[in-house]
Chains A and B, each alone.
Chain A
Amino acid sequence: RKEVEQDPGPFNVPEGATVAFNCTYSNSASQSFFWYRQDCRKEPKLLMSVYSSGNEDGRFTAQLNRASQYISLLIRDSKLSDSATYLCVVRGVSGGYNKLIFGAGTRLAVHP
């Protein structure tokens, strides 16, 4: 089983739609969670951190459910420019060092 699992998509939605991505992680001891965004043929960039109480940044809302080991990202009022792959990222431990564990990503395509 992968440490971080995401629905690969693609999610095809019209402009203005609300779309939600889910992610599950296997290590219950994981402490930190993030969403990264990766445009086609570009590098990943941090979109937002995910806090226990849930957090919002403009049209983006991230939530964490520790009991179910589940993270979500909600995008409201989708724009064409939101088209990208969204990577769920969890902080884990390897050999005594912290490291980030990346999901394979969920692809979003927003159309006119």
Chain B
Amino acid sequence: DVKVTQSSRYLVKRTGEKVFLECVQDMDHENMFWYRQDPGLGLRLIYFSYDVKMKEKGDIPEGYSVSREKKERFSLILESASTNQTSMYLCASSLVKGYSNQPQHFGDGTRLSIL
């Protein structure tokens, strides 16, 4: 069974802090994704990666960066956290490079609050 693990379920940070959200998958998946989920807006894609050291911007990359140094780990970075980044963050992975016609497996999510 695929396991996608996010480092924290709940996180509280202050405005201006640098925030790291970590995601690890254990099934050797090529693709990894970071989304945020807000009421009434659904899941919105922030960044994705189809390979180690590769990253592509999603729909809402502003204020975020990512790192994929190892295949199993995909990190989301809030360079200088702001209150409008308070949200639920979901990491996902899927198997084959560049091909999204397959299920994405999600982590439990990190509920991030920026004060």
| Residues of A in contact with B (beta carbons under 8 Å apart) | 4, 8, 31-32, 34, 41-46, 87, 91, 94-95, 97-100, 102-105
Contact = CB atoms under 8 A, between A and B. Distances in A.
Interface residues of B, number: 24
11 contacts: A32-B101, A42-B109, A43-B107, A44-B43, A87-B43, A94-B59, A95-B57, A97-B56, A98-B98, A98-B101, A102-B43
8 shortest interchain CB distances as A-B pairs: A43-B106, A104-B42, A46-B103, A102-B43, A98-B100, A102-B42, A32-B101, A44-B106
Nearest to B4: A43
B42 A91 contact: no
B12 interface: no
Nearest to A42: B108
Contacts of B108: 42-43
A104 B100 contact: no
B44 to A, nearest CB: 8
A44 to B, nearest CB: 5
Nearest to B50: A97
Interface in B37-59: 40-45, 48, 50, 56-59
B56 A103 contact: no
Contacts, number: 54
A35 to B, nearest CB: 11
A95 B48 CA distance: 11
Contacts of B40: 8, 104
A20 to B, nearest CB: 20
B101 A91 contact: yes
A103 B56 CA distance: 21
B80 interface: no
B104 interface: yes
Contact of B42 (A32, A97, A103): A103
